[in-house]
Structure 1
Amino acid sequence: MIIAIPALLISLLLLYMWYEANQNNIVTHTIPTTYTNQYHIAFISDVHARKIHYHLLQKMRHVDAVIIGGDFCDKRTPIQLVERNLQTLATLGKIYYVWGNNDREIEEAQLRALFKKYHVTVLENESVMLQEKLWLCAIEDTSTRKYSFEKAFASVPQAVDTICVSHNPGVFNRAYVYKPTLLLGGHWHGGQIRLGPYGMRPLGYTKIDEISEVVSNGYGTTLLPLRLFARPEVHLITLHAQK
C-alpha cells in the first residue's frame, strides 16, 4: 500500500504532463507598427514530431502569412507527417519557413522538394516583401554558424516595418542595430519541463516595445513527449498601426 501511493502519484503526474504536451493553445498578440495596419500572422515553431491538429486551425481565421520558426521536424518525424503538417498549415495562408537546429536531421533535399510542392518560401539570411511597407527577414539557424543579420537585412529598404525571425532568440540582441519592428523566435520550448519557476530554458514571453519580441514555448516536444508548466503555443499576431 505504501509503495502503491507514490506509484499512483507518479502515474497521474505523467498523465498530466502528456495531457499538457498535447494541448492546442492559441496566444494572441497585437503588435504596434508604424506603417502597417491589420496584417495577420500565424507563428508556429518547434513542431518536431507532433501532428498539427485540424481543430487548432478551426480556432484561427485565415491569415495573411504563416511563419514557421524552425524545428518543424527532426530525425523522429516521418516525411509523411512533415507533408501532412505542411498541408494543414497551407489551408491558413502563404507559408514562410526558417531553419531550426533539428530540421536538417531529415534529408534536406526531401524537405526542399516538399517546400517547393507547397509553395513555401524558405528564408536563409535574406528578406522578402510581404506587402508595401512590410518586410520579413530571417537568418540561418545559429548552429550552422553561417547566420548573418547583415545579409538578412541587406535588401530591406528604409521607412518600413520589419519582422525578423531567428529560431534561436539568444541572438536577438544582434538584430537591434537594424531596428526591426518585431522579433520572432522559439527553440527554448519554455524549458518544456519546469519545476515551478525553474527550468532548463526560459519560458516563452512577449515584449511590446519600440522593438517587440515574441518567443514561443513551441508546439511539439523533444526527447520526451511531455510538458510541465510550459504549455505548447501557436501564436496569432496582428500588426496594427499606432494612432
Structure 2
Amino acid sequence: MPVIYLLIIMTLLMIPLIYNMVKEAKSLEMTEETISLPIPILTKKLLFISDLHNRKIEMTKWWENVQVDIVIIGGDLVERRTTEDNVRHNLRILTSLGQTYFVTGNHDYRFHMDHLTAILNEFNVKQLNNKVVEIDDKWAVIGIEDYGTGHALLETIYSTKKPAILVSHNPEAVIALKDENHSLRAMLSGHTHGGQIRLGWLSLGEKGGWTEKNQLPVFISNGFGTRHLPLRFGAPPQVHIITVVGGEEK
C-alpha cells in the first residue's frame, strides 16, 4: 500500500481521538473532598481551583449554586499569553463566591507580576505567598510560593502551631521538609495537570487525587485549564469543594 494511503488512514483514525481530547479539555469534573482537623471547629467549605492558564470559566448553574466560605486559587492563574480580560472575568466569578486567596504557580511569574498584583488587589484577592492566615482563631491555611522556581520560603510552615492546611502549587514542596515539627494536616496543590494526557501509565505528569508525600496527605488537582495544547485524555479538568471538619483534640 502506498505511504500516502497509510497516512490518510492514520489521519482519519486520529480525528475522533483528537475530537474527544478537545471535548474533554472543555469539560469539567467537580469533586468533593474532606479534610479533618484534630480539634473542634466550625465546619468550613473551600473551593479549590488551580492551573486556569488561558481557560475562561463558563457561568453554568453549577457555579451559580456554589456555596463556600473560602476560595483558594492554587497557582497558574495566568501564563504569558493570558489576556487581562480573561483574568478579570475569572476573578469576577471566583471572588463572588467568597473571600479569595491566591498562591503563585510557576507560570504566574511569566505574566508581569506587578501587573498581576494590581489586578488581584482590584478584586480584593489576598496573596497567600509565604504567609499564614488563621481561620476562626482555631486553625490555619499556610501558603508558600512555587517551590520549583526557588521562591518558596519553607520556614513559613513552622510559623504557626495551630493545625494547618498547606497550599502550594508544586506538590513536591513538601518533600523538602526536613523537620517533622510542624502542624500540617494536609496539602493542596496542582501543577501536574494530572498528567493532562494519560495513556495507561504513560503521562506528562503525576496523577491527580490524594497521595502521600513525606508522611503528609497531599491532594493534587488535575487543574482547570491546559498547557501547550488544548487537549486532555484520561485527566479531566477539575474544580474541588473541600469540606474542613473538626474532631476531638489528639
Structure 2 residue 31 is the aligned partner of structure 1 residue 27: yes
Deviates more, 1:210-219 or 1:13-22: 210-219
Change (3 A) 1:240 1:57: same
Structure-1 residue corresponding to 2:74: 69
Change (3 A) 1:239 1:118: same
Structure 2 residue 193 is the aligned partner of structure 1 residue 189: yes
**Structure 1, unpaired ranges of 5+:** none
Structure-2 residue corresponding to 1:202: 206
Q: Which amino acid aligns with 2:183?
A: K
TM-score normalised by L of structure 1: 0.91
Cα pair 2:142 2:156 within 8 Å, conserved: no
Q: CA RMSD in A?
A: 2.1
Q: Which amino acid aligns with 2:139?
A: L
TM-score normalised by L of structure 2: 0.89
Q: Which amino acid aligns with 1:197?
A: W
Cα pair 2:29 2:237 within 8 Å, conserved: yes
**2:19 equivalent among 15, 20, 23:** 15
CA–CA distance in 2 between the matches of 1:45 and 1:39?
19
Offset, 1:207: 4.2
Cα pair 1:191 1:203 within 8 Å, conserved: yes
**Counterparts in 2 of 1:42-191, with a 5 A limit?**
42-55=47-60, 57-58=62-63, 61-154=66-159, 156=160, 158=161, 160-175=162-177, 177=180, 178-191=182-195
Cα pair 1:193 1:230 within 8 Å, conserved: yes
Offset, 1:132: 2.1
Change (3 A) 1:56 1:190: farther
Cα pair 1:179 1:211 within 8 Å, conserved: no
Cα pair 1:31 1:212 within 8 Å, conserved: no
**Structure 2, unpaired ranges of 5+:** none
Cα pair 2:171 2:218 within 8 Å, conserved: no
Change (3 A) 1:207 1:60: farther
Cα pair 1:217 1:230 within 8 Å, conserved: yes
Equivalent pairs counted in the alignment come to 240
| Structure number with larger C-alpha Rg | 2
Cα pair 1:130 1:136 within 8 Å, conserved: yes
